Chain A
Amino acid sequence: MTAKALRNPVDFSQFPDRAGHFGRYGGRFVAETLMEALHELDDAWRAYRNDPEFLAELDVDLARYVGRPTPLYHAERWSRRLGGAQIHLKREDLSHTGAHKINNTVGQALLAKRMGKTRLIAETGAGQHGVASATVAARLGMECVVYMGSEDIQRQALNVYRMRLLGATVQPVTSGSRTLKDALNEALRDWVTNVDNTFYMIGTVAGPHPYPVMVREFQAVIGREAREQMLSDYGCLPDALVACVGGGSNAIGLFHSFLNDSEVAIYGVEAAGSGLETGRHAATLCAGRPGVLHGNRTYLLNDANGQIIETHSVSAGLDYPGVGPEHAWLKDIGRARYVAVTDDEALRGFHDLTRIEGIIPALESSHALAYVTQLAPTMRPDQHIVVNLSGRGDKDIYTVARLEGIQL
């Protein structure tokens, strides 16, 4: 056995297992009414995931429609300010529609087309996945229904209008806490009812198998590119990766190609909202415990009786009481470290990047940036951090202005 193999007792390419388990997490916890639909999806996914024609079509879409590869940008001025490691931004914010979400919907759309489905449904919180779903539906000429909590519809008027412009129906969800988790419940109910013609596009690395692995594979292009870009630009791998974690798709997308490189430290940054001690947060991995929701076993924010509790974050995209099962597993085995930053810290990250580098980041991504401001000064200037700038901040301008008492 080589030294490297000894350092890496886990071969990450072997996970999940055939039934979607990452250790004790993941799996398929849905009503029987959805099992055949999941098998049909899994069969299609396994048939096409290594199919040269499918992958070639995906590559063309990613290059010409999404605009990949996205740059790896050296934030020199910000790095100097922080006085530690060199910071590199993986510019997913420059993707078509302004966030990494499109990587996944372009891939799932190709699959939906091959499966002969004529109707797309999706859930959305901040609206980024909804916009990315409506976008690919418009391009394919497919009907698209996006479920969105009525609370989130209020908070994200801009994205709601974008979806409607793209021809999607935005269906308000008024059950439960009227946010992302309830939108997911409602999308699952729609899927059960219309399973024959409908393809359900889940936007994150959660849900029943095969969604966590399928979405990971579609998002893994982020880390593949970042790895090549680091090697070609600097001749080395980064010392650390940082990404925000709500459901965790942009984070898994960045992390996955580096999991076997044990010398690369990995940090997932959750939303501490008003502070972990206040109970008003969305830091599932930092403050939750394992349970079952939305088709998978993972860490959850739930009360002593197993009821799911409401989450709080300035960033609607991180406002989710669960997290992808692969993150739960990476936490337990210690391969990734999960931390949390508050709304206030994230807002400082938002302003720092805007003023120092001329890039307005999404509030989700600002959580990752806020952690970088803590991490970078503890590292040497010859070390490198890659942070996933998962989305642009245009959608958040109203939120930030409101918090600062400015009427736009």
Chain B
Amino acid sequence: MNRIAHCFADLRRAGRKALIPYITAGDPRPELTVPMLHALVKAGADILELGVPFSDPMADGPVIQKACERALAHGMSLRRVLEQVREFRQTDAETPVVLMGYLNPIESMGYDAFVAGAHAVGVDGVLTVDLPPEEAAELAEPLSAAGIAPIFLLAPTSSAARIRHTAQLARGYLYYVSLKGVTGSAALNVAEVADKLAEIRALTDLPLGVGFGIKDPPTAAAVAQVADAVVVGSALVARMGELADDPERMLREVGERVNAMRKAMDCPDPIEG
């Protein structure tokens, strides 16, 4: 069984929801990425989303754009991201790692070389933001064949027909983009998310993750009530950028943020007011 499926099965048995932090590989400095991944796991992350830096991240807001720029300025590339996963795997054989990024670096490496490389270092899932299901078969099939989950986005605007089509190609989990906008946008509306998730659940058995707009423990807890996984990215990446010159504090504070979300998701306080 793929580590992602394993993870969701374990969580379901324990009655818990997955917490999925996102960081951009190589940001703020390449040597901090693997320590950060371990810190995230220690703080309670179930699955790790590792962003592959791209020069033109058109679905990302300013926080992750800047993270990409910082990472690229340090010479990050898809090849080096795979090396970081290999290094992470030397001391963590359990936690699923999902690469999240854009198609061109993968095209540039070649689909076969990428799938083989990702498989060899222990990547569990690949989310390619600008690869909708219509264009995805050529990459999704070899990924699935290698035991790597192709993960796809769903949006508030996705029709039932698109949800069905996407679910057929997807493995691992579906990532529901909780608002109209780019990463790091304004806070999401939990009631609207709940309605859309119910619609999606009627069409697929895959676990549903929710991301974009989850900034704090209360929102994470509220989303965990209706979703199978909570993805948090910009809120962490912003702090990493601010603390770039103080790595120890960065590892500690970002870990604390994740841990606060973990606790809120596991034992949600009654909603205030």
Task: Tell me the A residues contacting B by CB distance below 8 Å.
Answer: 19, 27-33, 35-37, 175-176, 181-182, 184-185, 188-189, 192-196, 290-295, 297, 300, 302, 304-309
Contacts and interface: CB of A to CB of B under 8 A. Distances in A.
B58 A185 contact: yes
A310 to B, nearest CB: 9
B132 A193 contact: no
21 contacts: A27-B135, A28-B135, A29-B103, A29-B132, A30-B58, A31-B155, A32-B155, A32-B162, A33-B153, A35-B132, A36-B157, A37-B157, A176-B56, A176-B65, A184-B58, A192-B182, A193-B180, A291-B104, A305-B77, A306-B106, A308-B104
Contact of A307 (B55, B152, B180, B182): B55
A23 B62 CA distance: 35
A193 B182 contact: yes
B109 A306 contact: yes
Contact of B159 (A19, A36, A294, A307): A36
B117 interface: no
Given A193-B181, A305-B78, A181 B56 contact: yes
Contacts of B157: 33, 35-37, 195
A65 to B, nearest CB: 33
A334 to B, nearest CB: 23
Interface in B149-172: 152-155, 157-159, 162, 166
B59 to A, nearest CB: 4
Contact of A305 (B62, B79, B130, B166): B79
Contacts of B107: 290-292, 297, 306
A175 B72 CA distance: 13
SS class, residues of chain A in contact with chain B: mixed
Interface of B: 54-59, 61-62, 65, 69, 72, 77-79, 102-109, 129-132, 134-135, 152-155, 157-159, 162, 166, 177, 180-182, 185
B134 A31 contact: no
Contacts of B54: 306-307
Contact of A33 (B69, B77, B177): B177
Top 5 A-B residue pairs of the complex, sorted by shortest distance between their CB atoms: A306-B108, A306-B105, A36-B157, A305-B77, A32-B153
Given A29-B130, A305-B105, 13 more contacts: A31-B177, A33-B155, A33-B180, A35-B157, A36-B155, A36-B162, A175-B69, A185-B56, A195-B180, A294-B58, A306-B78, A306-B105, A307-B104
A176 B130 contact: no
A235 to B, nearest CB: 46
A289 B206 CA distance: 37
Contacts of A185: 56-58
Nearest to A309: B55
B100 to A, nearest CB: 12
Given A32-B132, A33-B180, A306-B108, A292 B103 contact: yes
A31 B69 contact: no
Contacts of B130: 29-31, 292, 295
Contacts, number: 124
Given A29-B132, A302-B104, A306-B104, A189 B58 contact: yes
Given A176-B56, A189-B61, A193-B182, A30 B132 contact: yes
Contacts of B181: 33, 189, 192-193
A305 B114 CA distance: 12
B237 to A, nearest CB: 15
Given A27-B135, A28-B135, A32-B152, A307 B59 contact: no
Contacts of B155: 31-33, 35-36
Nearest to B103: A292
A180 to B, nearest CB: 11
Contacts of B72: 307
Contacts of A28: 132, 134-135
A300 B56 CA distance: 13
Task: Specify which of B56, B153, B157 lies most central, judged by the most chain A CB atoms within 10 Å of its CB.
Answer: B56
A308 B59 contact: no
Nearest to A29: B130
Nearest to A37: B157
A308 B58 CA distance: 13
A193 B106 contact: no
Contact of B177 (A19, A32, A290, A300): A32
Contact of A193 (B56, B79, B159, B185): B185
A136 B55 CA distance: 32
A188 B104 contact: no
B104 A175 contact: no
A193 to B, nearest CB: 4
Nearest to B77: A305
B65 A292 contact: no
Contacts of B135: 27-29
A308 B158 contact: no
A291 B158 contact: no
A291 B58 contact: no
A304 B77 CA distance: 9
Contacts of A175: 62, 65, 69
Nearest to A33: B155
Nearest to A38: B132
Nearest to B136: A29
Nearest to A188: B58
